[in-house]
A and B are shown apart, each in its own frame.
Chain A
Amino acid sequence: MSNVLFDIPGPRARVRHRLYAVLGVAAVAAFVGFIVWRLAESGEFAARKWEWIQYKQVQEDLAAAVGNTLRAFALGAVLALAFGAVFAAGRLSDHKPVRVVAGFVVELFRAIPLLILMFMFYYGLPTLGVRMSPYMAVVLGLTLYNGSVLAEVFRAGIQALPKGQSEAAYALGMRKTQVMVLILLPQALRTMLPTIISQLVVLLKDTALGFLITYEELLNYARYIGSIYAFGDLDSQIFFYRPIIPTTIVVGAIYITLCLLLTLLANRLQKRQRRNRKIQAAPAEAVV
């Protein structure tokens, strides 16, 4: 679409565009440069604020924290996909009570903020006598919230398929389950794959909320290291100088890399799919 919005630039337009390009780059460079300059000026890039990353134990623990983040992501993703599939099927059911209940559950968990869900599991449930580790609270919160979003994605994907597909399948004498599993789901999954993966990126990012309920994930470890000024005996003290900004930068880079890897996967799948002209990708966006 974007290439039909404007005429092919002529010589004057090209000069103007070049000017815009220079201005744009200059603005971005000035903006980034200003941030870096001010942070450097306040000593955030001084070697003493980056000491912490040199220690082997710290690196290992940082890796372990990444592991914890991925652990919550992996289980949360699997459970959310399962939850989404079950409740999408529920909302497409022929039985009204099932439809109503599934619809209610999905809408309910889509409306409650994920953080409030996690608070409920971590702080609320133990007062009712249910044991709950931060890990389980994070995973359950991620599952219910993203699962209900995914349920809507699945439902939309199946409903977007041409009616002829299911009609033809019924005409061949297939049962409801067969139509769903053999005909509708495989096609819907293909069109929905990019959206599903973007939702999984959201899920991966949301593991960072575990930080607010003391789950020992990446951001929580950054907070711990970032809170250290000095430690050890007076005669052999080691100083970290409370590296809040450096830890945030490092952890930010790790998150962006992890999410980008997932996004790249999504883009590749989308590209591969575009080659297959038979299927029109239904427009759907992941929800923040």
Chain B
Amino acid sequence: MGALLDNLPLFLSGFRTTVWLFLVSAAASLVFGTILAMLRVSPVPILRGIGTLYVTVVRNTPLTLVFLFFIFAYPLLKIVDLSYAVRAMVALSVYTSAFVCEVVRSGINTVPVGQAEAARALGLNFGQTLGSVILPQAMRAVAPPMMSTLIALLKNTTIAAGFSVAEAGAIRAVLADKGYPQMVTLAWVAVGFILLVMVLTLVQRTFEKRWSRAR
């Protein structure tokens, strides 16, 4: 208990950074992932190819490597100076949006074909069909896999600890040097993540309930 209570500010600030990283990257990858999914079902073959290429490359690259790129190669591009925390958010979003894209795409595939056919028969174009008819219905099917993807994102934020972002994964190193038993520290960090995951799961349940009622 001592490891937690003596260092409550450290734990709190660590988890605050984690939640912050998570929220920003989640929002960014939801948006970007949906755009990618739209690219992947678009009428233009080349745009479909670009979407597929992105997803294939990113899904087969370890996240640690994406981080290495944004921490060590990005400054050489000389665009704008970003703090390590922002770069970590970008790395997480770039990585997670590929997975979000696949989830959205499989959601689109669960919508009955008749829906799209009816929409086209009404004279809606591709954007209208997708935006007003297909995607809203797809949302229902994607809630559970989307939440697993987001939970994975939450856990992946710990990798930022290896790249100078003081989030929950970095607590161990600080306390180890102060002589606290590492197992205890890590157990508390794990408890923190379990709580966060429980919150996310609750959110998912609520959404599922609401949508199943709406059906």
Contacts and interface: CB of A to CB of B under 8 A. Distances in A.
Assess A/B contact in the complex (Cβ within 8 A).
Answer: yes
Interface of A: 1-2, 4-7, 9, 13, 17, 20-21, 24-25, 28, 34-35, 38-39, 42, 44, 108, 110-116, 119-120, 123-125, 127-128, 201, 205-209, 211-212, 219, 244-245, 248, 251-252, 255-256, 259-260, 263, 283-285, 287-288
A277 B64 CA distance: 40
B60 A39 contact: no
Contacts of B69: 248, 252
Interface of B: 40-48, 50, 56-57, 59-65, 68-69, 72-73, 76-78, 95-96, 99, 102-103, 106, 108-111, 113, 116-117, 120, 125-126, 129-130, 134, 141, 145, 148-149, 151-153, 155-159, 161-162, 169, 172, 176, 181-183, 186-187, 189-190, 193-194, 197-198
Contacts of A44: 73, 76
Nearest to B125: A6
Most buried by A among B60, B169, B186: B60
Most buried by A among B69, B109, B151, B182: B182
A205 B76 contact: no
B148 to A, nearest CB: 5
20 contacts: A2-B108, A4-B116, A5-B43, A5-B134, A24-B50, A39-B76, A44-B76, A110-B197, A111-B193, A112-B190, A116-B190, A123-B182, A124-B187, A205-B61, A206-B62, A209-B159, A219-B62, A248-B72, A248-B73, A263-B59
Contacts of A24: 44, 46-47, 50
B77 A35 contact: yes
A219 B149 CA distance: 25
Given A1-B111, A248-B68, A255-B60, A120 B183 contact: yes
A124 B148 CA distance: 28
A288 B47 contact: no
A28 B159 CA distance: 28
B77 A263 contact: no
Given A6-B129, A108-B194, A285 B102 contact: yes
Contact of B158 (A2, A115, A248, A285): A115
A205 B63 contact: yes
B126 A38 contact: no
Contact of A39 (B73, B116, B158): B73
A67 to B, nearest CB: 17
Contacts of A120: 183, 186-187, 190
A38 B78 contact: yes
Contact of B129 (A5, A212, A255): A5
B129 to A, nearest CB: 6
Given A1-B109, A111-B194, A288 B60 contact: no
Nearest to A112: B190
A9 B161 contact: no
A84 B161 CA distance: 29
A209 B155 CA distance: 13
A113 B145 CA distance: 18
B162 A113 contact: no
A123 B72 CA distance: 27
Contacts of B186: 116, 119-120, 123-124
A25 to B, nearest CB: 6
